[in-house]
C-alpha cells in the first residue's frame, strides 16, 4: 500500500534468513497471507503452532512449513512474529529462549494488552521487541496497524516492523500509552462494522430489497464513505451535510439514529473494550482480579 520506495531497496527479511510466525490461528494466517501477497518470498517464511491440526490446515493453505516442532528453525530467524493468545505468551517466550533465539532477532508481538516491558521480562533477554496491533482486514491488504518499540528496539527495528504491516494496509508508529484504546477501536473495530452492516442489510430487507443486493449496497457504501473520509480529510459531519437535504429523507433517518442514542452506544462499546484490553496481558498476580480475561484473547 505504501509508496515508500525504500521498501523495495531493503528486504524486510535478510538474504538466507527467515521470518517465523508463532501461532498459526486467525491472525497468524492472515498476516502470513498478507506478507506473501506483499512480496515476501515464501521460502523465507515458516510458522509454528502447538496444535497439530492447525499446522496441517495452515501448511496446506499457505504452502510454507507450519510445524509443532519448530524449535530448530528459531536460531536462523531474523524476525519472529508472535500471534498466540495473550495467556500463551509465557510458554512461547520460554520455548523461544530454550530454542536458541539469537540476541539480534527482532520479536514482534500482536498480543492484545501485553505491554513491551512485560514481553521483555517474559523473554528475559535484551532482544529488540516491537508491539503491534493489527486487524483482520490485513487479509485483503486494508489492515490498520499501529506499532511501538520496547526499550531494546531501535528506530530501524520499528521501521522494519512497520514495513511488514505496511505491506498489508496502513501502519502508524504510535505511543504505547494509546494501545488499549487502539485495540478497542481498530483491533476490535471490524466486528463493530460487520454488526452495523448486518443491521443495515436487515433494514434493507425490511423495506423490500433482496438480501444479497442489500448487503452489496451497504458494504460498497461503507467502503465509499470510508474512502471519502480518508481521501478528502474532511470532517464526517461536513460530509454528512452534503447528503442531508432540508426536509429530505436523510435527515429523517439521522433523527431516528440519534433517538436510538447511537453515539453513546458506540462510545460505551469502545470504552468497555478498552477496559478489557487493559486486563488481557496482566501479570499472574493480577489474573485473579481479571477473572479469566487473559485466556479470552482479543
Ligand atoms: N483476531 C483479531 O481480530 C485480532 C486482532 C489484533 C490482534 N489480535 C491478537 O492476535 C493474537 C492471536 O489471536 P487469534 O485470533 O489469531 O488466535 P487463535 O486463532 O486462537 O490462534 C492462536 C494459535 O496459537 C496456538 N498456540 C497457543 N499456544 C501456543 C504455543 N505455546 N506455541 C505455539 N502455538 C501456540 C493456538 O493453538 P490452540 O488453539 O491449540 O491453543 C492457535 O492455533 C491474540 O493475542 C490477539 O490478542 C487478534
We report the CATH number of the domain holding residue 234 as 1.10.3730.10
Stretch 247-275: mean pLDDT, rounded? Answer: 97
> How many other β-carbons are positioned within 10 Å of the β-carbon of residue 216?
14
Q: How many Å apart are CA 233 and CA 229, to the nearest integer?
A: 6
The answer to whether residue 1 is domain-embedded is no
What's the whole-number average pLDDT of the chain? 91
**Measured between alpha carbons, how far is residue 246 from residues 109, 242, 243, 258 in Å?**
50, 11, 10, 17
Spatial CA neighbour of 125 closest among 147, 150, 144: 150
For ligand 1, atom 21, the nearest C-alpha belongs to 25
Q: For position 213, what pLDDT does the model report?
A: 98
Same domain, 134 and 249: no
Q: How many Å apart are CA 53 and CA 59, to the nearest integer?
A: 10
Please check the confidence at residue 5 and state whether its pLDDT lies above 80: no
Residue 260: strand, helix, or coil: coil
The answer to whether residue 44 is domain-embedded is yes
- Phi, psi for 20 (deg, rounded to 5): -110, 135
Confidence of residue 233 (pLDDT cuts 50, 70, 90): very high
Atom of ligand 1 nearest to the CA of 27: 16
Helix 211-232 and helix 236-243, axial crossing angle in degrees, nearest 10: 130
Spatial CA neighbour of 164 closest among 298, 30, 23: 30
Q: Between residues 36 and 1, which one has the greater pLDDT?
A: 36
Residue 289: strand, helix, or coil: helix
Same domain, 155 and 218: no
Same domain, 105 and 147: yes
Tell me which DSSP letter residue 8 carries: H
110 within 8 A of 82, measured Cβ to Cβ:
yes
For ligand 1, atom 29, the nearest C-alpha belongs to 50
Confidence of residue 13 (pLDDT cuts 50, 70, 90): confident
The answer to whether residue 92 is domain-embedded is yes
Same domain, 202 and 70: no
Q: For position 1, what pLDDT does the model report?
A: 43
Q: How many Å apart are CA 17 and CA 34, to the nearest integer?
A: 19
For ligand 1, atom 31, the nearest C-alpha belongs to 92
Tell me: the pLDDT tens digits for 90-129? 999 999 999 999 999 999 999 999 999 999 999 999 999 9
Compute the Cα dihedral for 282, 283, 289, 295 and give only its sign.
positive
Same domain, 170 and 196: no
DSSP per-residue letters across 102-133: -TTPEEEE--TT--HHHHHHHHTS---EEEEE
Same domain, 118 and 230: no
Confidence of residue 235 (pLDDT cuts 50, 70, 90): very high
Q: For position 34, what pLDDT does the model report?
A: 85
Q: What's the order of all strands across the beta sheet hosting 66-67?
A: 66-67, 45-48, 18-22, 77-82, 106-109, 129-133, 143-149, 169-173
The answer to whether residue 273 is domain-embedded is no
Same domain, 150 and 217: no
Helix 249-259 and helix 262-280, axial crossing angle in degrees, nearest 10: 50
For ligand 1, atom 20, the nearest C-alpha belongs to 25
183 within 8 A of 133, measured Cβ to Cβ:
yes
Please check the confidence at residue 283 and state whether its pLDDT lies above 50: yes
Q: What is the Å distance from ligand 1's center to 243 Cα?
A: 42
Residues with CB under 6 A from ligand 1: 22-28, 48-51, 54, 83-86, 88, 91-92, 110-112, 133-136, 187, 297-298
Q: Which domain holds residue 200?
A: 189-260
Atom of ligand 1 nearest to the CA of 191: 3
Atom of ligand 1 nearest to the CA of 86: 45
CATH number of the CATH domain containing 23: 3.40.50.720
- Phi, psi for 108 (deg, rounded to 5): -115, 125
Point out the least confidently predicted range of 18-22, 64-68, 138-142, 149-153. 138-142
Same domain, 128 and 249: no
Confidence of residue 289 (pLDDT cuts 50, 70, 90): very low
Please check the confidence at residue 295 and state whether its pLDDT lies above 50: no
> How many other β-carbons are positioned within 10 Å of the β-carbon of residue 174?
15
Q: How many Å apart are CA 263 and CA 254, to the nearest integer?
A: 11
Q: For position 11, what pLDDT does the model report?
A: 67
Considering its fold, how many domains does the chain have in total?
2
Q: Between residues 226 and 293, which one has the greater pLDDT?
A: 226
Spatial CA neighbour of 80 closest among 130, 126, 21: 21
DSSP per-residue letters across 239-250: HHHHH--TTSHH
Same domain, 94 and 160: yes
- Phi, psi for 297 (deg, rounded to 5): 75, -145
**Measured between alpha carbons, how far is residue 180 from residues 112, 115, 149, 150 in Å?**
8, 10, 15, 16
Amino acid at each position: 500500500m505504501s509508496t515508500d520506495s525504500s521498501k523495495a531497496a531493503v528486504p524486510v527479511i535478510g538474504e538466507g534468513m527467515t521470518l517465523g510466525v508463532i501461532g498459526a490461528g486467525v491472525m497468524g494466517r492472515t498476516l502470513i497471507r498478507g506478507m506473501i501477497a506483499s512480496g515476501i518470498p515464501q521460502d523465507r517464511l515458516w510458522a509454528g503452532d502447538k496444535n497439530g491440526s492447525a499446522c496441517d490446515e495452515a501448511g496446506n493453505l499457505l504452502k510454507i512449513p507450519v510445524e509443532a516442532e519448530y524449535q530448530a528453525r528459531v536460531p536462523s530467524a531474523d524476525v519472529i512474529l508472535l500471534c498466540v493468545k495473550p495467556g500463551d505468551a509465557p510458554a512461547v517466550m520460554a520455548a523461544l529462549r530454550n530454542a536458541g533465539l539469537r540476541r539480534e532477532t527482532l520479536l514482534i508481538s500482536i498480543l492484545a494488552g501485553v505491554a513491551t516491558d512485560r514481553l521483555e521480562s517474559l523473554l528475559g533477554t535484551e532482544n529488540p521487541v516491537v508491539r503491534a496491533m493489527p486487524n483482520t482486514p490485513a487479509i485483503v491488504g486494508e489492515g490498520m496497524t499501529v506499532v511501538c518499540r520496547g526499550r531494546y528496539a531501535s528506530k530501524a527495528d520499528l521501521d522494519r516492523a512497520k514495513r511488514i504491516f505496511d505491506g498489508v494496509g496502513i501502519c502508524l508508529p504510535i505511543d504505547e500509552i494509546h494501545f488499549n484504546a487502539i485495540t478497542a477501536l481498530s483491533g476490535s473495530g471490524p466486528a463493530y462494522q460487520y454488526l452495523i452492516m448486518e443491521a443495515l442489510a436487515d433494514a434493507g430487507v425490511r423495506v423490500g430489497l433482496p438480501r444479497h443486493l442489500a448487503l452489496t449496497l451497504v458494504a460498497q457504501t461503507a467502503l465509499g464513505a470510508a474512502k471519502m473520509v480518508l481521501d478528502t480529510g474532511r470532517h464526517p459531519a461536513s460530509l454528512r451535510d452534503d447528503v442531508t437535504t432540508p426536509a429530505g429523507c436523510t435527515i429523517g433517518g439521522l433523527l431516528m439514529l440519534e433517538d436510538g442514542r447511537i453515539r453513546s452506544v458506540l462510545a460505551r462499546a469502545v470504552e468497555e473494550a478498552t477496559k478489557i484490553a487493559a486486563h488481557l496481558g496482566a501479570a499472574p498476580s493480577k489474573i485473579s482480579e481479571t477473572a479469566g480475561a487473559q485466556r479470552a484473547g482479543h
